[in-house]
Structure 1
Amino acid sequence: MVETSGASRRPPLESQDTLDQVKLTGTLGNDGVASLHPEHGSNGHALPPAEGATSDTRDFGGKRSKSEGSIQIRLEKTDRKGRYILTADDPEIREILRKGIEREELEAANKKPRIRFRDLVFTRQFTTFDRQNPASSESPFFGFFTLFWIAMALLLFQVSMKNFREYGSILGRNQIMKMMLSHDVYVLGLTDGAMCVGTSVTFFLQKLVQWRVLNWGRGAWVVQNVWQTVYLASVVGWAYFREWPWTHTIFAVLHGLVFLMKQHSYAFYNGYLSGVYRRKLLLENKLKQLQTMEPIHSGPSSPRDSRQMDAFSSGLDVAELSKKASEAINNSDLKRRPSIGNRTSTNLAVEQSDVATIASAIHAGTAITPDQMSTFEQVINTELEDLNRELAGKSVSGAHAYPKNLRLLNFAEFICLPTLVYELEYPRQEKINWWYVLEKLTATFGVLCIMMVISQAFIYPPIAKTLRMKEAGVSVAERWQEFPWIVSDLLFPLLIEQLLTWYLIWECILNVLAELTLFADRGFYGDWWNSVTWDQYARDWNRPVHNFLLRHVYHSSISAFHLSKHTATFYTFLLSALVHEMCMAIMFKKVRGYLFTAQLLQMPLVMMSRHKFLRSRAVLGNVIFWFGLFVGPSFLTSLYLVI
């Protein structure tokens, strides 16, 4: 695709105009669409934007060299802005384009595959609304952000004055505050501490795996999953047993889910690395055995030793092995060879790889020549280097490479970090800005006050009304008549509460944690407010959970259970829907499945949004997204309240 940014500043070129360029660079797709980036020539023109009819064509001249004439290249407009179909009559140009396409196809075929666990990149970045982010103050919508908080402050002032006039207190009757602070506050704090300490079970399980008391690939992962089930059931069961109000219950369950996801990520990443480490130790032992072997020194005409390696009978091509080992040494970024085998495999007797064949020859005591010994050492060392890189992960210095990372302090630090995906190292900042911490803490309590006032003034009355109707024995049919009015009453307050809750957690609380732990990657969310599809919203509004699901549900289900991408996507949505419905069941003390159904309906909505009618209409897609986000919470909440 031809880039057209800033095209409005370029002088237009009429049809049949020529563009004198020394060099045209870019790519050409298989569909014949060009992506060209001309270097400015003497006339200073660049490619024009492609607008208007598709039949219009333009000829551009480009110089072969100083001594040769120009080459005519024709760009025909397509129905998409900024895209051209490129044709050239010159046979040399056609040959260059053909080779370019073949080269791009070859590069695509040899593209490095996604590694199972190290598929996420952590970088230094700020959240969108953070004042430390230069883009925040430079945004053209900066004034609307300021207006929103002025409106929230005025709303808080208005409601507070109304409450003071009617009840003598700015918080009114203050039922929500009394509910939150009058019941088991200390027990809730102790429960949260117990949940945090309970995560250490996962750490000690990994120490048993490291000490080879347990084998991750032979049952330790089952033990981990059983523990996670017990952990979650204990949290939910304790919340029900204490008969907490919904505020206490939802806090305990959500925080328990956070601890659960952290344990899962820590266990399964380190469990994977334990398999890599076992393979490394096995190959190091094979290398030592190889180095103790005495090679034979037979001349070209002397008969071979009866035990000497037969390249044809063993299936081992020594020349090919030597070539691949040399390539791997000279190119550390070389795509992983399929003959290497699984990184966690320790059963070389059944493995189909060059390393396994070499191990078999070493075990059999096959006589080998000095050249063969040198080649075998190269192959094993190449494999060991690859395993060492995997064990080091993102630990640049290697100080936290597996198993050095299995320390209680490292685990406790991960539990405190504002991320759900475990890595050996993260980008860190140098020091804590305590003024910044104070700013975010002040914002946290300020947002909580606004949420409290809005809940008390606008959300509590309709909810209390539905509860009184149920207590009075009003039939479902009569309550259903009130349903539209309850939805209407909850529309705006729930939308505001939803926005404030998101801002409270992902902008305030997570930034406080990040600052206190020196965590430099603040990419906790994307510009979800610009979403045109529901899958875009799912990716951007909660990046920590999305990254967890991407690594440990989507990719893991594909690699472990060999599911297709569509099936893996379905199971990811299904798990997310089940967790959301569990939270609603805990909050309302009943299972109805409304939110579960709404979550699964996102999948057909995503498919519809990819239709060509909606794909090219970003504004319409954004309107549909905001309408759903506006109406959905009040509609679902009213369903749970009324029925």
Structure 2
Amino acid sequence: MAEPAAPQRPPLESKDTLDATQLSGTLSHDGIAALRADGSAGRNGSPISSAREGTEARDFVPQSQSEAAVLDDDESDDTIEDYDDIELDPDTLVANARKSMDAAYRPAIGPDPSTSTSQSQPGMNGIHRKRGSIQIRLEKTDRKGRYVLTADDPEIREILRKGVEREELEASNKKPRTRFRDMVFTRQFTTFDRQNPASSDSPFFGFFTLFWIGLVLMFLQVSLKNWREYGSILGDNQIMKMMFSHDVLVLGLTDGVMCALCFEGYFFQLLVRKGYINWGKGGWIIQNLWQSAYLGGVVGWAYFREWPWTHTIFAVLHGLVFVMKQHSYAFYNGYLSGVYRRRALLEERLRILQAMEPVTSPPTSPSTSQYLDRTTSSGLDISGLAKKADSTSLKRRPSMGHRTSTNLQIEKSDVASVAQAIESGSAIDVDQMHTFERVIQAEIQDLTRELQGKSLDGKNAYPKNLRLGNMAEFVCLPTLVYELDYPRQEKINWWYVLEKTTATFGVLCVMMVISQAFIYPAVAKTVRMKEIGMPIEERWREFPFIVSDMLFPLLVEQLLTWYLIWECILNVLAELTKFADRGFYGDWWNSVTWDQYARDWNRPVHNFLLRHVYHSSISTFHLSRNAATFVTFLLSALVHEMCMAIMFKKVRGYLFWMQLLQMPLVAFSRSRLLKGRVVLGNVMFWMGLFVGPSFLTSLYLVI
């Protein structure tokens, strides 16, 4: 019997438009290709011959999309997948194609395809040689580097069609943007933690060691001098006396009460969960009023007790931490309560739908026609909805506006239209019932994933997370952003806890000595100038010398304060709570702009502002990005100025305006004058960090 003829591919017209032998890129949906020519060498470094010397076909490297390739001109070749190395799905295979394809998917078995020629030729016993190229046609457009991609080969067209469908399906499964920024918590160490392998491998490890050696030597020098003159390493010990001679026990009790009051959020969310309070209608307003009263009570209590600035600033800063924790806990759980109510409502609609008896009359019957007329008038496209339901999942909404909605009468969505159709009581047939059921089930599954959040095992999925222990754990965790679950480590390293605790008290001792030896004299000088009634003109003449005296000690104190909190104290809390994400800061010392410094030096607060101020301003109040950025900086500036007013017992606004000045400085750093000049940007950053604290402190002290 004669062998069947091999299927013939349509001939490719000989219309060369490029000299390149290979075009690499990704496919898109619009039929336009911006392809990158790569004719330098083959995969093994061998030269590639010109396209004009052989076949008219081109080697096209499809990545993931469909009928066109889009690739920026500056994209690196390293980011392009090699067609010979990728794993292909069975539905994308072409008979007699590349040798990288699994033999199980090939229609014929024959000799090693690596010995085949570069063109498809039918051989004996029905074996076909592989084709070395995918034949396509490129037509130029009016834009440079963009071409219309077409293929006459029916198998290639089928591959591209399925690629489009697969991309649409993947796009429909993407998680939509939510009101709450999806924070990513991972297992990681802080930069200077000795457990971090990158710390000891850093090329600047020796400078880190030198810094601490220098501080220890300075501490010993000042301590010996104080011991010889005063008989104490702390000198006159004014700062220590101020800290421990007044209301220490009351300060501790106050902190305990502030911590206990944080549990208001837990009990409030129980009321929301049980339906006594509707979070979306008034619950969030009540919560904000409570937080304002909480912070006002802390500040007022500190003034009433007439505490020294050390007690006051500790109480206020700790109170701010508790306020941010309460806010994050309440607003995330309040949001989830709306999602939970919506899911319950849709589950009720699903039960009603499943209890309905579908009609068996043909589509032209009066009952069916009556239903179709009603749904069409209400804007429900049955045929379009059925096509969506036939896919793996419905395309999700681009925003979260409907995630917490329970008013399906005014909501504009497919789910709401289906719910309205169910409530109307109109007759539906079996196919329509199945379509409606799939639509509602897809929405319920989507809401269930939202309620599960980061809790992969579901143990802390809402409302299971509303437990007193869960709230107590969050209060102790070194993070200000509430999540249903966090990465945790298996056990506590008590030697590590001892190490960081010892470092905490050691750093406190060094800070005490530096403050007493270098900062207290300058502060006492400004106090005496005011007590003797020195005119403002004479104080201004002393201003430059006071700034100069406090430049270095305030810089060292600032660095030590940062190290004390973000490296020592937070790591102790993380170890005791088995909190695995130690990303409390980034490499802020390499900052070239002030916004980079604001992001990296205090990651817990930055994450809170990003989620609950910046993104909430955009989603809730519909502000633009620039307006949301201004609101974030404004809130931060107000809080900083409040702290300065508490410390110095007066409102001057110096720090407030300096904080807002960061916004034009950020814009200036992105201008042509500074963009790309990393060294200059870092110098300007360090000059500001070096001079700024001393300058501002002197302003508050002198004026």
Query: Relative to 1, partners in 2 of residues 1:524 and 1:175: Cα closer, same or farther, differing over 3 Å?
Result: same
- For residues 593 and 580 of structure 2, what CA distance do their matches in structure 1 show? 29
Aligned residue type for 1:217: G
- For residues 369 and 22 of structure 2, what CA distance do their matches in structure 1 show? 67
- For residues 40 and 312 of structure 1, what CA distance do their matches in structure 2 show? 59
Equivalent pair of 2:181/2:610 in contact (CA under 8 Å): no
Query: Relative to 1, partners in 2 of residues 1:182 and 1:63: Cα closer, same or farther, differing over 3 Å?
Result: farther
- Match for residue 155 of structure 1? 218
Q: Does 1:169 align with 2:229?
A: no
| Alpha-carbon offset, residue 120 of structure 1 | 1.1
| Alpha-carbon offset, residue 616 of structure 1 | 1.4
Equivalent pair of 1:266/1:422 in contact (CA under 8 Å): yes
Q: Does 1:393 align with 2:453?
A: yes
- Match for residue 321 of structure 1? 385
| Alpha-carbon offset, residue 462 of structure 1 | 0.4
User: Match of 2:405, SS?
Assistant: coil
Aligned residue type for 2:191: T
Query: Relative to 1, partners in 2 of residues 1:302 and 1:575: Cα closer, same or farther, differing over 3 Å?
Result: closer
Q: 2:43 aligned to 17, 38, 41, which one?
A: 41
- For residues 630 and 455 of structure 2, what CA distance do their matches in structure 1 show? 34
| Alpha-carbon offset, residue 442 of structure 1 | 0.8
User: Match of 1:308, SS?
Assistant: helix
- For residues 300 and 26 of structure 1, what CA distance do their matches in structure 2 show? 45
Q: 1:120 aligned to 151, 176, 183, which one?
A: 183
| Alpha-carbon offset, residue 309 of structure 1 | 3.5
Equivalent pair of 1:23/1:63 in contact (CA under 8 Å): no
Q: 1:492 aligned to 552, 573, 579, which one?
A: 552
Aligned residue type for 1:190: L
Which string of whole-angstrom CA distances, capped at 9 and with x for unpartnered residues, describes residues 152-187 of structure 1?
Answer: 110101101111111111111111111111111111
Equivalent pair of 2:177/2:399 in contact (CA under 8 Å): no
- For residues 68 and 277 of structure 1, what CA distance do their matches in structure 2 show? 62
User: Match of 2:609, SS?
Assistant: helix
Q: Does 1:231 align with 2:291?
A: no
| Alpha-carbon offset, residue 364 of structure 1 | 1.5
Q: 2:326 aligned to 238, 263, 268, which one?
A: 263
Aligned residue type for 1:568: A
| Alpha-carbon offset, residue 308 of structure 1 | 2.8
Equivalent pair of 1:339/1:352 in contact (CA under 8 Å): no
- For residues 404 and 217 of structure 1, what CA distance do their matches in structure 2 show? 21
| Alpha-carbon offset, residue 613 of structure 1 | 1.8
Q: 1:133 aligned to 189, 193, 196, which one?
A: 196
- Match for residue 10 of structure 1? none
- For residues 532 and 682 of structure 2, what CA distance do their matches in structure 1 show? 43
Q: How many residue pairs align between the two structures?
A: 594
- For residues 314 and 521 of structure 2, what CA distance do their matches in structure 1 show? 23
Equivalent pair of 2:176/2:399 in contact (CA under 8 Å): no
Equivalent pair of 1:164/1:170 in contact (CA under 8 Å): yes
Q: Does 1:144 align with 2:207?
A: yes
Residue correspondence of structure 1 range 158-197 to structure 2 within 5 A: 158-197=221-260
- Match for residue 595 of structure 1? 655
- For residues 598 and 189 of structure 1, what CA distance do their matches in structure 2 show? 33
- For residues 217 and 39 of structure 1, what CA distance do their matches in structure 2 show? 62
- Match for residue 108 of structure 2? none
Q: 1:422 aligned to 477, 482, 489, which one?
A: 482
Q: TM-score, normalised by structure 1?
A: 0.86
- Match for residue 436 of structure 2? 376
User: Match of 1:219, SS?
Assistant: helix
Q: 2:411 aligned to 328, 332, 351, which one?
A: 351
Aligned residue type for 1:174: N
Aligned Cα root-mean-square deviation (Å): 3.3
Gaps of at least 5 residues in structure 2 are: 1-18, 61-71, 78-135, 150-159
Q: Does 1:502 align with 2:562?
A: yes
Aligned residue type for 1:326: D
- For residues 180 and 36 of structure 1, what CA distance do their matches in structure 2 show? 70
Larger Rg: 2
Equivalent pair of 2:35/2:146 in contact (CA under 8 Å): no
Equivalent pair of 1:341/1:353 in contact (CA under 8 Å): no
- For residues 306 and 521 of structure 1, what CA distance do their matches in structure 2 show? 60
Equivalent pair of 2:389/2:439 in contact (CA under 8 Å): yes
| Alpha-carbon offset, residue 82 of structure 1 | 8.4
Residue correspondence of structure 1 range 203-242 to structure 2 within 5 A: 203-242=266-305
Gaps of at least 5 residues in structure 1 are: 1-18, 45-59, 84-89
Equivalent pair of 1:27/1:34 in contact (CA under 8 Å): no
Which string of whole-angstrom CA distances, capped at 9 and with x for unpartnered residues, describes residues 433-487 of structure 1?
Answer: 0011111001111110110000000000000011011111111111111000000
- Match for residue 471 of structure 2? 411
> Identity rate of aligned residues, in percent?
68
| Alpha-carbon offset, residue 98 of structure 1 | 3.9
Query: Relative to 1, partners in 2 of residues 1:149 and 1:63: Cα closer, same or farther, differing over 3 Å?
Result: farther
| Alpha-carbon offset, residue 312 of structure 1 | 2.7
Q: 2:357 aligned to 294, 298, 303, which one?
A: 294
| Alpha-carbon offset, residue 327 of structure 1 | 2.2
Aligned residue type for 2:453: G
- Match for residue 637 of structure 2? 577
Q: TM-score, normalised by structure 2?
A: 0.79
Q: Does 1:456 align with 2:516?
A: yes
User: Match of 2:371, SS?
Assistant: coil
User: Match of 2:185, SS?
Assistant: coil
Query: Relative to 1, partners in 2 of residues 1:470 and 1:402: Cα closer, same or farther, differing over 3 Å?
Result: same
| Alpha-carbon offset, residue 357 of structure 1 | 1.4
